Amino acid sequence: MARKYSELRAKMSPTARAQAEEQTRQLLKEMPLQELRQARKMSQQQMAKSLHTNQSNVSRIEKRTDMYISTLRNVIKAMGGDLEVVARFPDGSVRINQFEDIDEAIKT
């Protein structure tokens, strides 16, 4: 990419930045993990294989309302995606990057 986003960011006013973020946020689709898996055209069996676990475990994970970040990251990776953890504030968002280097076995 020719443009440096860090420079572009520095030039934008905080308001413009917060507005751009809010617009993108509103464009995002929202769904729970089960729906996301279906949208990615994967079965629980396929997910289980990719996560080195069994189908009933995948089913359990999909019903959870809380889990370790590493577990969620592995689930999303199994679908071919990347997890992003963002803290949103009225004056702009920040990506939390301290969870990005872990690659552990799935915690259930």
- Which residue of 88, 105, 106, 108 would you call a contact of a second copy, by CB under 8 A? 88
How many chain residues bind a second copy (CB under 8 A)?
A: 54
Q: Is 84 in the site for a second copy (CB under 8 A)?
A: yes
Q: Is 33 in the site for a second copy (CB under 8 A)?
A: yes
- Which residue of 45, 56, 94, 105 would you call a contact of a second copy, by CB under 8 A? 94
Instruction: Spell out the residues 6+ positions from residue 14 whose beta carbon is closer than 8 angstroms to its own.
Output: 91, 92
